[in-house]
A and B are shown apart, each in its own frame.
Chain A
Amino acid sequence: MVTTSDSGLHARLAECAYRIRRNAIRMGEVQGQGYIAQALDIADVLAVAYGHALRYRAEDPEWEGRDRFLLSNGHYAIALYAALIEAGILPEEELETYGSDDSRLPMSGMASYTPGMEMSGGSLGQGLTIAVGRCLGLKRRGSDAFVYTLFSDGELDEGAVWEGIMSASHWQLDNLIGIVDVNNQQADGPSTQVMAFEPLVDKLQAFGWFVQRIDGNDLAAVIAAFDAARAHRGACPRMIVCDTKMGSGVPFLEAREKNHFIRVEAHEWQLALQALDAGRKA
């Protein structure tokens, strides 16, 4: 799967993750607010997805042979737009329209608005159920495309997620790769306190999934996990549990206590970009 040397791949994807973070911060600046901390925490995963793992054609986002990437947590749209810009599916200029009237980039991700957006998320806990249907539909057609679905640890509160987890195993959906972003932060506080979901790996394994748990901000680990998920030979669905850090890459945002929905002072956007650049050089 790796087309360049490991170090070359790593360097390329690190640059890709940096640009995704940068795109997201610039979009956040347009609105003065946003789910920036989540975009920063998931940037490494999206860099590996769009820079390495997914098959797609930037000029033809609906190409039948593409791997599908379903964003269940629609409030992460700013992160996915940042990745779709990096992937060449959206033009970079368009980020200045983020969240504005008549923009193709609304604040919550909707398939009907945005090229490359495969589902309308936002009502949490639906992505995995849709992914199950897409996997079944692709198998019906004899397609070998993968369906990836990204959802958040908070979505584990929703019963439908577990309906999806159980059925994916029942249907032996080896074309399904779930990615759960465990940043331990949801609207009312730490996810583990809102509703306990650990031990997550044990639960998923008991449901019959091939499960890997990684540091979602360790690029090498993310690359290895995506490769292993695709290469796994078992007739079962695959889950990558990603422990991530809210605000990753921008230390003063990482340090914020209430970072589910960040309000950033006007002068701080430039500081965030500077901090990101500093980390990149380091």
Chain B
Amino acid sequence: MSTAATKPRLKTSAMIASIAGDGQATRAAPFGNALVALARERSDVVGMTADLGKYTDLHIFAQAFPERYYQMGMAEQLLMGAAAGMAHEGALPFVTTYAVFAARRAYDFIHQAIAEDNLNVKIACALPGLTTGYGPSHQAAEDLALFRAMPNLTVIDPCDAIEIEQMVPAMAAHHGPVYARLLRGNVPVVLDEYDYRFELGKAKLLRDGADVLIISSGIMTMRALEVAKTLAHDRIDVGVLHVPTIKPLDTATILREARRSGRLVVVAENHTVIGGLGEAVAAVLLSHGVTPAFRQIGLPDAFLDAGALPTLHDRYGISTQAMADTVKTWLR
């Protein structure tokens, strides 16, 4: 009995693990609520899902607009094909599933039925990158590499609740197919400190710094901002350039910031280091003759472990502490 009292609390490897840190401010279901707000303005908005309405915050929309909600069953190919058909008939479908199922299972349907016709379908996918400890079946480490390669498709990797709220109307305003990574449930609020406004296709310098420039997207921007605060104690001055739109890439801003001499450029992404933001930025820099010291932080080219999310983020070097340690090593 005494061992039970001293045994550390088991960390969860549950499917839906919170990405919010202890005590971090959060907002509930920013996507679902933003979609409801959008649907009040636009009668063409419909919501479609493949048995994951409750787990992609689309249930908020379903409750508000039951007659505009389409449950397509656990059938992602049908989901994407039917969304294409809906868009052909003038609807504006917001489609949700997990990122793994959109990227791996329904890729061909997104490619042929949606992107090739440049249809107005908005695909919002939960559990991007390493945001679940459920193992490779549910970890979408390659989604950005796959979707970056698809013509016509706009690709977004938002950072926090504020960005998701602003991203939803921006997706609707853009004509054409969009893939967005989705953070669901209680989503951290981070960008309110930075006077931030999401603009499709624009990178934003959130914080300037003389020693290191971290170029990041998604939840890694949240981490990069924390790393900057941490390293400030060591008199290391870290700038953070947030790149929520992975495609089309804001090459002008990336080049402008990377050209400033003497800074180590680090690209940080919640994605395999193959084919994601890091390689995209590297290609932009090299093809423009900009050659700063350059490093990548991202997931390894491996099937990732199952486990508790904080453990895995440490193990794979994308936790705040692991990132800070790595960057310090590179500066030595």
Binding site for B on A (CB under 8 A): 110-112, 118-120, 122-123, 125-126, 128-138, 140-141, 143, 159-160, 163-164, 166-167, 170
Question: How many interface residues does chain B have, given as a range?
Answer: 20 to 34
Q: Can you list 28 A-B contacts with CB-CB less than 8 angstroms, sorted by A residue number? A: A110-B116, A111-B117, A118-B88, A119-B88, A119-B117, A120-B112, A120-B116, A120-B117, A123-B111, A126-B77, A126-B81, A126-B112, A126-B113, A129-B113, A130-B81, A132-B78, A133-B89, A134-B89, A137-B86, A143-B89, A160-B109, A163-B77, A163-B78, A164-B81, A167-B72, A167-B75, A167-B78, A170-B73
Interface of A is mostly: helix
User: How distant is the Cα of A92 from the Cα of B117 in the complex, in angstroms?
Assistant: 26
Minimal Cβ-Cβ distance residue in A for B111: A123
Query: What's the least CB distance linking A226 to chain B, in Å?
Result: 22
Q: In the complex, are the beta carbons of A133 and B86 less than 8 A apart?
A: yes
CB of B90 within 8 Å of the partner chain: yes
User: How distant is the Cα of A16 from the Cα of B91 in the complex, in angstroms?
Assistant: 36
Q: In the complex, are the beta carbons of B90 and A133 less than 8 A apart?
A: no
Q: A-B contact count, CB below 8 Å?
A: 101
Known contacts A129-B109, A130-B113, A160-B109, A136 near B85 by CB under 8 Å? yes
Q: In the complex, are the beta carbons of A123 and B108 less than 8 A apart?
A: yes
- 5 closest residue pairs by CB, A with B: A133-B85, A129-B81, A137-B89, A133-B82, A134-B85
Residues of A within 8 A of B86 (CB): 133-134, 136-137, 140
Give the most central of B46, B80, B81: most A CB within 10 Å.
B81
Kindly identify, within residues 84 to 112 of chain B, every residue whose CB is under 8 Å from any CB belonging to chain A. Answer: 84-91, 93, 108-109, 111-112
User: How distant is the Cα of A222 from the Cα of B78 in the complex, in angstroms?
Assistant: 29
Query: What's the least CB distance linking A145 to chain B, in Å?
Result: 9
Q: In the complex, are the beta carbons of A130 and B88 less than 8 A apart?
A: yes
CB of B55 within 8 Å of the partner chain: no
Residues of A within 8 A of B198 (CB): none
User: How distant is the Cα of A233 from the Cα of B156 in the complex, in angstroms?
Assistant: 46
User: How distant is the Cα of A140 from the Cα of B67 in the complex, in angstroms?
Assistant: 9
User: How distant is the Cα of A133 from the Cα of B108 in the complex, in angstroms?
Assistant: 17
Kindly identify, within residues 1 to 49 of chain B, every residue whose CB is under 8 Å from any CB belonging to chain A. Answer: 46
CB of B215 within 8 Å of the partner chain: no
Minimal Cβ-Cβ distance residue in A for B93: A133
Residues of A within 8 A of B108 (CB): 123, 126
Query: What's the least CB distance linking A69 to chain B, in Å?
Result: 13
Residues of A within 8 A of B87 (CB): 133, 137
Query: What's the least CB distance linking B156 to chain A, in Å?
Result: 23
Known interface pairs A132-B78, A163-B75; 6 further A-B residue pairs with C-beta atoms within 8 A, sorted by A's residue number: A112-B118, A126-B81, A126-B108, A132-B82, A163-B73, A164-B81
Query: What's the least CB distance linking B112 to chain A, in Å?
Result: 5
Q: In the complex, are the beta carbons of A133 and B112 less than 8 A apart?
A: no
Q: In the complex, are the beta carbons of B89 and A141 less than 8 A apart?
A: yes
User: How distant is the Cα of A123 from the Cα of B106 in the complex, in angstroms?
Assistant: 12
Q: In the complex, are the beta carbons of A136 and B82 less than 8 A apart?
A: yes
User: How distant is the Cα of A129 from the Cα of B95 in the complex, in angstroms?
Assistant: 14
Q: In the complex, are the beta carbons of B85 and A131 less than 8 A apart?
A: yes
User: How distant is the Cα of A211 from the Cα of B111 in the complex, in angstroms?
Assistant: 32
CB of B83 within 8 Å of the partner chain: yes
Residues of A within 8 A of B83 (CB): 133
User: How distant is the Cα of A125 from the Cα of B80 in the complex, in angstroms?
Assistant: 13
Minimal Cβ-Cβ distance residue in B for A158: B77
Q: Interface digits, B219-259 against A, CB 8 Å rule (1 contact, 0 not)?
A: 00000000000000000000000000000000000000000
User: How distant is the Cα of A140 from the Cα of B46 in the complex, in angstroms?
Assistant: 10
Query: What's the least CB distance linking A150 to chain B, in Å?
Result: 15
CB of B294 within 8 Å of the partner chain: no
Contact of B80 among A110, A129, A141, A167 (CB under 8 A): A129
Residues of B within 8 A of A129 (CB): 77-78, 80-82, 84-85, 109, 113
Kindly identify, within residues 52 to 91 of chain B, every residue whose CB is under 8 Å from any CB belonging to chain A. Answer: 70, 72-73, 75, 77-78, 80-91
Query: What's the least CB distance linking B25 to chain A, in Å?
Result: 39
Q: In the complex, are the beta carbons of B109 and A126 less than 8 A apart?
A: yes
Query: What's the least CB distance linking B251 to chain A, in Å?
Result: 27
Known contacts A126-B113, A129-B113, A159 near B77 by CB under 8 Å? yes
